[in-house]
Amino acid sequence: MQRIVRTWFLRRLSWLAVALAALILGGTPASAGSRIKDIADFEGIRDNMLVGYGLVVGLNGTGDGLANSPFTQQSLIGMLERLGVNIRDADLDTQNVAAVMVTATLPPFANQGSRIDASVSALGDSTSLLGGTLLVTPLLGADGEVYAVSQGPISVGGFSATGNATTVTKGVPTNGRIPNGAIVERELHFDLAAMTRIKLALRNPDLTTARRMAQVINAFVGVGAAVTLDPTTVQLDVPQSYAGATIDLLADVEQLEVTPDLPARVVIDEQSGVIVMGANVRISTIAIAQGNLTIRITETPQVSQPNAFSNTGQTTTVDRTSIEIDEGEANKLALIEGGVSLQELVNGVNALGIGPRDLITILQAIKAAGALQAEIEIM
């Protein structure tokens, strides 16, 4: 009997512990904030775009046609001359070479000798870069200086197979990558650790978000070190507690959480019919009716044949036309109260059976009527 009571007591105790844990976890509100590192960029910490022009060799007859791509022929002649081969008077007819554009992104504070990825894209009429090797290609920055050099075999995700009657293509065989295929040759010097004043730039400019970010930073450091300059920029002065430790300050600041505030906006992509509405979109009291006039015309020709053993009749085709008209009489008039939320708006238009294409027109009409308290952005 004592053993049974003990087992019951332990079981009840385990249930109580589970219930207490669920209460603690359930009572903890989920944070709706975002880290500063996810919504803002720090001054001096940025990428740089690199681009270069090069040649890919080793293609299996899928390269540029030299007659249609004179830049490929000139580049091939120039490359061979630099290697001591003179072919200016020769008639070149190779299809194993392709001219390409090489792009790469130089990460911030990349050291000389480190490697970065490179992307390769065909420039001429090459049909595939599969199996090709990029020759030494200097990668230039916006200032015209060489910051990296790329070379290596190209990894292509797509392929193309051609027969007499059809062609099968998967992916984009004229585009590929060279993982770690570029070596950094020039560094961008920027002494971040010596800075005493740093600017933070919001990726989505907003006055409220910028002020909230400055308030969160000041509450963390304990002094008014952060000041909002404009909807995009927050200026941060290194406080005395972080003197000589700017990197530590930025590492702590980027982990702080801020709740971004976004304007009421409706983004419409008319080509694909995609509609994205923010949570702050509000609509005044309006009535919506949506109806379509649809006319369907169906042609079903029938064959009329003469009777059996008839000498005078002949076979003819008789037209049969069926016309149906749908005036949308089943559609109803819906009343949407003022200040409705996004969910209520979606429920209201769904009740009318309205699709995304018709909803785009309705939203534009509501905006024209002055009842939509949001900005419409058409992509």
344 plus 242 within the same structural domain: no
Q: Give the pLDDT confidence score for residue 11 in this predicted structure.
A: 47
Q: Give the pLDDT confidence score for residue 234 in this predicted structure.
A: 95
330/162: higher pLDDT:
162
Q: Give the pLDDT confidence score for residue 348 in this predicted structure.
A: 66
Q: How many separate domains does the chain show?
A: 3
Q: How far is CA 139 from CA 51, 99, 121, 146, in A?
A: 5, 15, 14, 6
**CA 254, CA 247: separation in Å to the nearest integer?**
11
pTM above 0.75, yes or no: no
Are the C-beta atoms of 377 and 360 separated by less than 8 Å?
no
216 plus 233 within the same structural domain: yes
pLDDT tens for residues 196-220?
A: 999 999 999 999 999 999 999 999 9
204 plus 108 within the same structural domain: no
Within 59-145, strands assigned E span 98-106, 115-122, 133-140
- Reduced to 3 states, what is the DSSP secondary structure of residue 145? coil
Q: Give the pLDDT confidence score for residue 190 in this predicted structure.
A: 86
Q: Is residue 26 scored above 50 in pLDDT?
A: no
251 plus 279 within the same structural domain: no
| Domain contains 192 | no
Q: Tokens 């509501």 belong to which residue?
A: 366
110 plus 152 within the same structural domain: yes
Q: Give the pLDDT confidence score for residue 10 in this predicted structure.
A: 42
Q: How far is CA 66 from CA 83, 166, 246, in A?
A: 20, 25, 56
Domain that holds residue 340: 266-303+317-378
178 plus 54 within the same structural domain: yes
251 plus 273 within the same structural domain: no
Give the up-direction half-sphere exposure of residue 204: CA atoms within 13 A in the CB hemisphere.
12
| Domain contains 237 | yes
pLDDT range class, residue 86, cuts 50, 70, 90: confident
Torsion, Cα 31 34 37 40, to 10 degrees, reads -160
57 plus 170 within the same structural domain: yes
Question: Helices marked H in the chain — which ranges?
Answer: 2-27, 36-39, 70-82, 207-221, 246-253, 342-351, 356-368
pLDDT tens for residues 304-350?
A: 667 666 666 677 776 676 656 555 555 555 555 555 665 666 666 66
**CA 42, CA 33: separation in Å to the nearest integer?**
19
| Domain contains 311 | no
140 plus 156 within the same structural domain: yes
pLDDT range class, residue 27, cuts 50, 70, 90: very low
- Both structure tokens of 242: 């972080």
pLDDT range class, residue 180, cuts 50, 70, 90: very high
| Domain contains 309 | no
Q: Give the pLDDT confidence score for residue 14 in this predicted structure.
A: 43
Are the C-beta atoms of 95 and 65 separated by less than 8 Å?
yes
54 plus 156 within the same structural domain: yes
54 plus 121 within the same structural domain: yes
Q: Is residue 354 scored above 60 in pLDDT?
A: yes
295 plus 364 within the same structural domain: yes
Q: Give the pLDDT confidence score for residue 303 in this predicted structure.
A: 67
Q: For the chain, what is the radius of gyration of the CA atoms? A: 34
